[in-house]
Amino acid sequence: MREIIFDTETTGLEFKNDRVIEVGGVELLNHFPTGRTFHVYINPEERKVHPDALAVHGITDEFLKDKPIFSEIVAELLSFFEGARWVAHNANFDMSFMNAEFERLGLPPIGAEQVVDTLAMARRKHPMGPNSLDALCRRYGIDNSHRTKHGALLDAELLAEVYIEMQGGRQAALGLVHTEAGASRRGEDTAEEIVLLDATRPHALAERLTAHEIECHGALRQRLGAKAIWNKYE
């Protein structure tokens, strides 16, 4: 399953009039980061950045003057997101803005069935809160000390780590855990659950050693003699 963990920054809070000025996305495949990212700053055309928004993300009108407008980046954006679920924290906010941008260009909206809201997930999993991105980073031991202001790509990268942890962590992403009673791993179905170590590996690991590395390891074992720890696993 392919998912894009994404975030936006905007000129303000009114999706009908304000504009998207930054989009950052991180690709996950089966809940594991692939290393592929998407990041763009966008000129909001006639719309100015509201002072309250500027205080949050620090993106100025001057900085955005020479950036492409949304119509110039939309094809690349949709290509990156194609076939993936859209995952965001407080997704209603981000999707309202994204769909407003698509509507201005005569493009179809992204349907709710394609979207996962990690804030809703967090509220189900941790009903006592708090469930802001910063609070979830603290809860899961994720270093966000470099997050002095909001930034779409940085926030997407942090959210990707939070999202993985909320679903059992990287062991789950690698297929090393399962949940009781076959609990679903889909974001919208995830609830508090006991995570158990799985005794079986669903897929064999790919061979990672070259013939030269195996030969060198054999020579090392010979030098160490019969007490080499690797001999116990033959």
- The CATH number for 82's domain is 3.30.420.10
Same domain for 119 and 214?
no
For this structure, is 150 an active site residue? yes
In this structure, is residue 217 part of a structural domain? yes
Q: Give me 108's structure tokens.
A: 């179809």
CA dihedral in degrees (130, 135, 141, 145; nearest 10)? Answer: -170
With 0-12 / 13-18 / 19 or more C-beta atoms within 10 angstroms meaning exposed / middle / buried, residue 94 is buried
* Active-site residue (options: 31, 57, 89, 150): 150
Residue 185 predicted with pLDDT over 90: no
Q: Is position 174 within any domain?
A: no
Same domain, 141 and 234: no
Instruction: Give the Cβ contact number of residue 129 at 10 Å.
Output: 11
- Does one domain contain both 26 and 136? yes
| Residue 44, in any domain of the structure | yes
55 lies in the same domain as 115: yes
The verdict on residue 30 lying in a domain is yes
Question: What's the pLDDT score for residue 68?
Answer: 99
Is the separation of the CB atoms in 64 and 43 below 8 Å? yes
pLDDT band at 218 (very low <50, low <70, confident <90, very high): confident
33 lies in the same domain as 119: yes
This model's pTM is above 0.75: no
Q: Number of folded domains in the chain?
A: 2
Average pLDDT in the 163-182 region?
66
Enter the tokens of residue 57.
């993300």
Task: Note down the domain range covering 28.
Answer: 2-167
Least confident span in 55-59, 64-68, 119-123, 148-152: 148-152
